[in-house]
Structure 1
Amino acid sequence: MQRFSCQTCGNEVYFENTRCVHCNAHLGFEPTRAEMLSAPDGLDFHAPDDEGDVYRLCANINDSACNWLLPANDPETLCLACRHNKVIPNLADQHAANLWRAIEQAKRVLFYSLVRWRLPMPTKAEDEQRGLAFSFLADEVMPDGSVKQHLTGHANGLITINIAEGDDAERERRRTQMNEPYRTLVGHFRHEVGHYYWDRLVADAGKEEEFRALFGDERADYGAALQQHYNAGPPIDWANNYISSYASAHPWEDFAETFAHYCHIVDSLETAGTFGLKVEHAGEAGRIHYDPYTQGSVPDLIESWVPLTVVMNAINRSMGQPDLYPFVLSKPVETKLEFIHRLIRDHVRQTMMPRKERRTPFLERFWSSI
């Protein structure tokens, strides 16, 4: 994530902020520029250049505190991220509405990365078969008193998230119950969208054989594999080959877990770099001086990432908190990360915008770094 400031007064602001605490200007994030714009009246947001581009806030600003912008002349009322919603909770239920706001905040973190990578993300209205959509559902009490549970998962481009995951205490209870070292809303989104991009970047691109050589044969019975995992647990030596124990359940889950982890690494490195943090490797300290979204190889990323995780964990321990990064990168995992890295970078190169087209300042930097 990049570092943001108020366009009006220059005060430091954050990705999820809707108002500047210093000058009270309305804030809006413009995704194609990856810039935070501001407007005193909250109506018209002007680009910080001479092109005259004007933007307005997403219609979900009041319901979900969505601070994303879209062009003022766009016939859509929802921003690039919100228009992918298929089902949202009953907003008359204040508790459900609050959980949805937390979920939407995490979803925007996901979409920040998808936009940075220019990954395909048509809505179901644009492409019913290959579109991406989200359903945010609450467990239901049936007439007989039983509870119909909605599981978080992915099926044919539809990602379902149980809104209970938006409750920090409930999510922690589930993490402990399932003996997971890490469970976050952002992690859920990055994992589930990994399944979607297996379809788009592996299957659609005819790269199944290359995938199978690293992750295994995805044609193995998925239901049976998950049942085996829950009944018997992961292999004793799972950490030698997988980023998490759950990744060992099935090749699809291995891909989704690794995809999510690649997102964690890249976005966290961008955050560290934009704040000027220095990392130490082999006794030498240096800044993360490249854009991890568009530059650097996987060895470059890992060389920056590993010492950064050591620092993050040490700070957490100083605060009496568990390790922020409870993972170990084995060589097989690094090879899988390299596969996902190439999938994304290859897609970027194949969809590069012709040089003669008009580019915003952010996209100018983006394309020049490829």
Structure 2
Amino acid sequence: MKQVSIRPVWTIQDPSGPVLPARLIELLVHVAETGSLLQAARQLAMSYRRAWDMVREGEAQFHAPLLAMERGRGSKLTPLGARLVWADKRIHARLRPVLESLSSELAQELGDALREAPAALRMQATHGFAIERLIERLSQDGLTLAVTYGSCAAAAAALREGKCDVIGMHIPLGPIQALALQTYAPWLKGLPLTLIDVATRRQGLMVRPGNPKAVLALADLARPNVRFINRQAGSGTRLLLEGLLRAQAVAPTEIAGFEHGEYTHAAVAAYVASGMADVGFGLETPARDFKLDFVPLATERYFLLCRDQLMSTPAMQTVLSVLREPRFLKSLAGLPGYDATGAGAVMPLSQAYPGLGDGLG
């Protein structure tokens, strides 16, 4: 099956004026990372003169500087340049799972048109960093995958309806677990399913460096000076947060920004890091990636589910082999907040969660 990759490109222009140079935003992103226009130009395989001309063209269009150049001290983004870079990071963080799902769909369509063999495994999963690495590794090993990212509920429904072979989802540990099981039971209860552990992961509050608003608990979200960014309604993370708030008697209506939701953990982190919110709720990994502080509040179990009869297939045996491989486990150990100690453990869903083991057929 062909590999399809889709990357977002955004343009800026005045109604009747020139378009911002096509690679200027990319150049500014590299300047932010390297602190040098020269190094950024080298990374993009362009001449220093071309990079300098692009910056000047952009500054002429905005009528404002994008870079501050200091002899011997490299290049520094101006507030406007930094705003453009953060906008680009938010775009990529928000769209990445959507574009990966669309890429997989297009690859399948091309495969059908070319009469290639179908994907060995159809997977639908809620997005996370361990599952992302697992999918990447399986693809590198030659296993053809058709991947769709979405909510836990959508994945569970797809599995019951036979629209996918395996799903990736997460269930919180502790008292909120019952709420999650009740939510997903209509799709999972009574099915002959096998659970394969991937990792546990920590969810909590993402706050700006130094935690300037001193947000240390969920009750602090209700303070009038705290701006919050949520995950989208219907996501497993939103469900977890709502359960935690209910347990602590914190009303969502008291939280400024509660109804504003982003579609990925990374997008929440980027939103906070760019200064558009004081705090968000999500995974520790993107919080650390965006240099944010993190207040852990809950631990979740991320796992795969498939019908029992699929376990003996070569595709699922490949999945198990990768999950148990020391080199892969080491890669997961590098993800902040993740613990893959039990990766590759297999058990019936009815054993892991007895309440899902009987009832519907």
TM over 0.5: no
Task: Output the TM-score relative to the length of structure 2.
Answer: 0.25
TM-score (norm 1): 0.25
Q: Highest relative contact order (Cα 8 Å, sep 6+), 1 or 2?
A: 2
Specify which structure has the higher proportion of strand.
2
